[in-house]
């Protein structure tokens, strides 16, 4: 639910919100495409995993030694989905920390405005 709320609903609703902090914290609208791509790849991996699971079980039933790769893929499908989500959160935090300025923050290259400045 957090994934959908943060990366689908918030980017689409943020431009209509007056609060500048919500607009600052909202991910790019391209995050919606990222979530869709994550869901599609997750479904593709699970489809492949189901077919490999059947192949793995058939080899065990026939008394053959199953290939090690099949077992590792079949048993670790959920980790693939988790890795995608963690990567998306990490990229989001990196963009907030390194890519965006806080609303109302003074630019380090601009001279300070106040007593004794030349702008008065």
pLDDT digits (tens, 9 = 90+) for 26-42: 999 899 999 999 889 88
* Residue 72 within a domain: yes
pLDDT band at residue 120 under the 50/70/90 scheme = very low
* Residue 89 within a domain: yes
- What's the distance, CA 117 to chain centroid? 45
Number of domains in the chain: 1
pLDDT in tens, 71-108: 666 677 778 778 888 999 999 999 999 988 888 776 65
Helix axes 77-94, 30-61, angle to 10 degrees: 160
* Residue 119 within a domain: no
* Residue 50 within a domain: yes
Domain that holds residue 34: 2-99
Given a contact cutoff of 8 angstroms between Cβ atoms, the answer to whether 7 and 35 are in contact is: yes
* Residue 38 within a domain: yes
């Amino acid at each position: 639910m957090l994934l959908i709320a943060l990366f689908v609903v918030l980017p689409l609703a943020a431009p209509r919100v007056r609060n500048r902090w919500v607009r600052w914290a909202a991910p790019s609208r391209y995050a919606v495409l990222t979530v869709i791509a994550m869901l599609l790849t997750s479904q593709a991996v699970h489809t492949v995993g189901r077919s490999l699971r059947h192949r793995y079980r058939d080899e065990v039933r026939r008394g053959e030694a199953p290939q090690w790769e099949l077992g590792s893929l079949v048993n670790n499908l959920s980790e693939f989905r988790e890795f995608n989500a963690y990567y998306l959160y990490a990229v989001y935090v990196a963009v907030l920390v390194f890519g965006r300025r806080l609303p109302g923050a003074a630019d380090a290259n601009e001279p300070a405005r106040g007593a004794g400045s030349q702008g008065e």
